[in-house]
Amino acid sequence: MAIWQDSLEHAQLSDVGMRRRNNQDSFGFVLAADDRTWKLRGHVLMVADGMGAHAAGELASKIAVETVPHLYLKLLEQPPGEALKRAISETNAEVNRRGAANPEFHKMGTTSSVLVLMPDAAWVGHVGDSRVYRLRRNTLEQLTFDHSLVWEARRDNSWPAGLDPQQALPKNVITRSLGPNAEVEVDVEGPFPLEAGDTFLLCSDGLTGMLTDDELACILANHPAEEAAASLVDLANLRGGSDNITVLVAKVLPAWIMKQGDGAPPPVATASPTAEVHPAVWVASGVCGLLSLGVLVAGQMLFAGIGALLAGAIIGLGFLLRGSAASGPSTKGGAAKTYQPPYSQTPYVDANAFLDKLATLVRDLRDTALDASLDLSTFDKLCQRASDLRRSGQSGPALRQLTQAISGIMSEFRRRKRNQHDSVVDL
């Protein structure tokens, strides 16, 4: 297979959860069709969590995951970061237009978290509180900033000292989304140079509301992509599954990096704004030049040299100021963006603490499965393997065996749920 097809291990899964009757989450995964597309635009992964009554949220998220990749892939004349920002902005306008055209969809909205994997770097485009993480060398890094009341209060230091906004503010109130307004501010982060083994997670808050970053790190560090996605969804459901859950996992394989040459860091592919040299610079330097010429004609060599140096200094200062204006930090409302990714870092050491927390959950799950007359032979065998591995000091493989046991039982519950046309399974 071609390098752009066989150098990425990936899986994607979306689940309605345990308490909702419809799924307002959507996801997109657009794998580059050929080598040229991969080099120019890369692979595009996306999660969108819709908001709105009736089917409005579902429609908004569906529009987002169809429109953003389509527009991004068309904007070949722009660098990746700029194309990504424009694609999300124009999608916002489309969701807003569709919402305004139908009273049932009024003010519908959706989050939008997009990951672009180029041959040499990753880019992230983001609006809302869905997240993009990267696990690198056993450290889980959050690459997106939650556009929520809690995170905004923390960032702006606008909360009274000694009071945790996480405890005092509602966790699910977001400050930005695609659709409700004609314009939206889009965060674009990157480029992030890639390394073999980098594992990316895109998810809706139906996952992060149920599992901690420590637990996400444990699952990503010890599971291949497909098992990781299934385990994350199952564990979120076992914790209550109060919302829709969407998970995309992508792992960069060594073949990807081996094709990239000497490993030099990728160029930053965003164009800097061009600032003009102020006209006063040219006027002042011209006056100094004329004066210098006059005193030179009068035979005053020293003063002529001083005037020429002064003219050159003024021109140099003008270009220096122009460069500062062109390359300075982006601003909104006059304030520079001082927060940069990663927005959180969680080291993974071992899975022992997570295994301890799962013990009660596994016992309860077994009791429920026993009451439902499910076959527990495979479940018990996997749990025993997990116990043996943990005693031998292999907490990571033990966790993998245990999550396989959990996923097997959850799969059987889902099968029965479909057969019984039931919307909720009480565990």
Residue 424 has pLDDT above 50, yes or no: no
- Residue 416 pLDDT level (bands cut at 50, 70, 90): confident
Query: What is the model's pLDDT at position 426?
Result: 53
Give 215-268 pLDDT, tens digit per residue: 999 999 999 999 999 999 999 999 999 999 999 999 999 888 766 544 444 444
Query: What is the model's pLDDT at position 168?
Result: 64
Query: What is the model's pLDDT at position 367?
Result: 97
Give 274-302 pLDDT, tens digit per residue: 334 444 444 454 545 555 555 454 555 55
Query: What is the model's pLDDT at position 9?
Result: 95
Tell which wins on pLDDT, 99 or 157: 99
Query: What is the model's pLDDT at position 98?
Result: 96
Mean pLDDT within 162-166: 65
Query: What is the model's pLDDT at position 269?
Result: 38
Bridge partners, 251 (sequence order):
9, 199
Residue 164: C-alpha distances to residues 152, 159, 160, 265, 332 (Å): 13, 8, 8, 39, 26
Which of 167-171, 275-279, 381-385 is predicted with the least confidence, judged by mean pLDDT? 275-279
Tell which wins on pLDDT, 354 or 311: 354
Map tokens 């013990």 to a residue.
359
Residue 351 makes CB contacts below 8 A (sequence gap 6+) with: 218, 222, 395, 396, 398, 399
- Letter string b/e over residues 18-46, b meaning 16 or more CB atoms within 10 A of that residue's CB: bebeebbbbbbbbebeeeebbeebbbbbb
CA distance 197 to 257: 10
Mean pLDDT within 61-74: 98
Give 75-88 pLDDT, tens digit per residue: 999 999 999 999 99
Tokens matching residue 260? 């990239």
Q: What kind of fold does domain 3-258 have according to CATH? A: Phosphatase 2c; domain 1 (3.60.40)
Contact assessment for residue 135 and residue 150, using Cβ atoms and an 8 Å cutoff: no
Backbone dihedral region for residue 332 (phi beyond 0: left; psi -120 to 50: alpha; all else: beta): beta
Q: Going edge to edge, which strands form the sheet with 245-252?
A: 8-15, 245-252, 199-203, 131-136, 139-142, 344-347
Mean pLDDT within 359-374: 96
Mean pLDDT within 325-347: 59
Mean pLDDT within 181-199: 97
Residue 317 has pLDDT above 70, yes or no: no
- Residue 7 pLDDT level (bands cut at 50, 70, 90): confident
Tell which wins on pLDDT, 345 or 310: 345
What percent of the chain is predicted at pLDDT more than 90?
Answer: 67
Domain boundaries, the chain: 3-258, 279-327, 350-420
Tell which wins on pLDDT, 163 or 311: 163
Residue 66 has pLDDT above 50, yes or no: yes
- Residue 360 pLDDT level (bands cut at 50, 70, 90): very high
Average pLDDT taken over every residue of the chain: 84
Mean pLDDT within 42-63: 94
Tell which wins on pLDDT, 137 or 305: 137
CA distance 9 to 309: 61
Residue 98: C-alpha distances to residues 53, 61, 364 (Å): 14, 12, 46
CA distance 191 to 264: 13
Query: What is the model's pLDDT at position 272?
Result: 34
Give 10-36 pLDDT, tens digit per residue: 999 999 999 999 999 999 999 998 989
